[in-house]
Amino acid sequence: MKIINNISDMYEYSAKLKKRGHTAGFVPTMGALHDGHLSLVDRAALENKKVIVSIFVNPAQFGPGEDFDRYPRPVKKDLKMLKDTRKVDCVFTPDKDSMYPPGSATFVSLENEMTNVLCGASRPGHFKGVTTVVAELLNIVKPDRIYLGQKDAQQAIILSKMMRDMHFSTTPVICPIIREKDGLALSSRNAYLTPEQRDTAPVLYKSLQMAESMVELGERSAETLKKEIRRKIKEAGVEIDYVEAVDAATLAPVSAISGNVLIAAAIFVGKTRLIDNTIITI
Ligand code: PAF
């Protein structure tokens, strides 16, 4: 497994792959890897000759007062995990100054409502940071496919649109959410939870499962589903950031469950913000 930390070496590596006719699957990460990330690596290895993973904690996607400084950076452990999979050919670990050289002033952002709803409403500027860094990474790595988790559904939808709008030749592949046995979606931020908070956190998934069952039983009102999800989360004594039902392609709010609807929620368990979602297709 090759570790590359500068952009010109990464260009060279990608060019070599192209020259040899190898396809490349790319898994962008901010490190603190878990089985969710490894499931993306597995899928990338199935569909491509070579697998490239990036590890970069992107300052541009953290707002003031967010957890950029305390975001976990267990680099050695991450590299070992990736090596142990025997499926990763290259890890790209650029530093902040190469991704954002002094004086760099260009951002990539979606100029529509998609970045202002759901997580965008409580994290202004977050998705501008995400689209900018992923556009940079795609230009550097030039993969055939990029693997994104449905856990960050809004991110995956926004990035897919950015790639279409900007004519990137990379194809996005959105992979299922990986969960703990009790349903908690895997997230690097789960490491912040105290044992007590960890016991409470699965209420987020349980509330989404409840909504899925309600739809199966015939409920079609988005308002009713959101109200019931909120009720269940509040019962567990957890603070809600948002609970929304939106069109799974446009992220526009829906009032009735029909077509592909993304029901997404964010909660604060203590200070830790957790997100989860389900896509319901009728
Ligand atoms: O999902 C993440 O880990 C990040 O948002 C990403 C896509 C690696 C961009 O920094």
What residue's CA is closest to ligand 1, atom 8? 29
**Which residue has its alpha carbon closest to ligand 1 atom 3?**
29
For ligand 1, whether the C-beta of 137 sits within 6 Å is: no
- Which residues in 87-125 are b (16+ Cβ under 10 Å) and which e? bbbbbbbbeeeebbeeeeeeebbbeeebbebbbbeebeb
pTM score of the predicted model:
0.97
Q: Are 78 and 34 in contact (CB under 8 A)?
A: no
Cβ–ligand 1 distance for 133 under 6 Å, the answer yes
Tokens of 209: 């499962």
pLDDT tens for 216-266 read 999 999 999 999 999 999 999 999 999 999 999 999 999 999 999 999 999
The model's pLDDT over 81-127, given as tens digits with 9 standing for 90+, comes to 999 999 999 999 999 999 999 999 999 999 999 999 999 999 999 99
Candidates 38, 93, 133: which one to mutate for ligand 1, based on the most atoms within 8 Å of Cβ?
Answer: 133
Domains and CATH numbers, the chain: 2-175 (3.40.50.620), 188-281 (3.30.1300.10)
- 155, 173, 177, best to mutate for ligand 1 pocket (most atoms within 8 Å of CB): 155
Structure tokens at 204: 């987020």
Query: How close is the Cα of 221 to the center of ligand 1, in Å?
Result: 33
The pLDDT of residue 15 = 98
Is any ligand 1 atom within 6 A of the Cβ of residue 29? Answer: yes
| Residue given tokens 């603070």 in the structure block | 239
Taking the CB of residue 260, how many other CB atoms lie within 10 A of it? 13
